[in-house]
Amino acid sequence: MHEQELESKLGDLGQWLLQMIALGLCALALYARFPFMTLLGLSPNWLLIWLVVWSINRPVIFAAIAGVSLGLIQDAMTIPSDAGFAPTHVISMAIAGGLTALIQKERFIQENFISIALIVFGMTVISETAIALQLTLFGRNLAEIWELQQRITLGSAILSSLWSPVLHFPLSRLTVKPI
């Protein structure tokens, strides 16, 4: 009995470690610009894809905390140090994580690539819109922001949803049972 318990703990530790490695690779992939991975100069939001895949079967509070954490990581990687103001990804990622966790997947959606791709598409739209709202609130040119927002949101949502099965398949096999 003791050996099974130890194996279970090592298994959970190994799963957690592999998920953190996947998260690190997703953070590094934000900088990757391969020709087959871009559309209109945009690339998939790998951290958002990871957040959706991870949050789908988690409690809302854990998903929101993960969203805040990933938002801080994305801000640290993308906001220049000399920027006077830049919109934060913290708010948008927390919203995306919380809403993803609120979806009662077992009840409404089958676990397959299409449902994950649709959720990623929707969360990308919500996330990009939250960033555009921040820019609007700080007095940027409204017409310019919303024109760019449409292009950025649609391109990012399409790419992120198309690439989401690449993360969903391996991570769904590694999922540590939620607390």
Q: Please name each of the domains of the chain with its CATH number.
A: 2-174 (1.10.1760)
Query: For residue range 16-39, what is the model confidence (pLDDT) as tens digits?
Result: 888 888 888 888 888 877 777 777
Are the C-beta atoms of 59 and 179 separated by less than 8 Å?
Answer: yes
**Which pLDDT score, from 0 to 100, does residue 16 have?**
80
Residue 160 CB-density burial (10 A; 0-12 exposed, 13-18 middle, 19+ buried): buried
Confidence of residue 107 (pLDDT cuts 50, 70, 90): low
**Which pLDDT score, from 0 to 100, does residue 3 have?**
47
**Which pLDDT score, from 0 to 100, does residue 147 have?**
86
Query: For residue range 43-80, what is the model confidence (pLDDT) as tens digits?
Result: 888 899 999 988 888 899 999 999 999 999 988 888 77
- Three-class secondary structure of residue 109 per DSSP: coil
Angle 161-101-66 from CA coordinates, rounded to 5°: 85
Which pair of tokens denotes residue 178? 């939620």
Q: Which residue has the higher pLDDT, 61 or 107?
A: 61
Which pair of tokens denotes residue 103? 């979806």
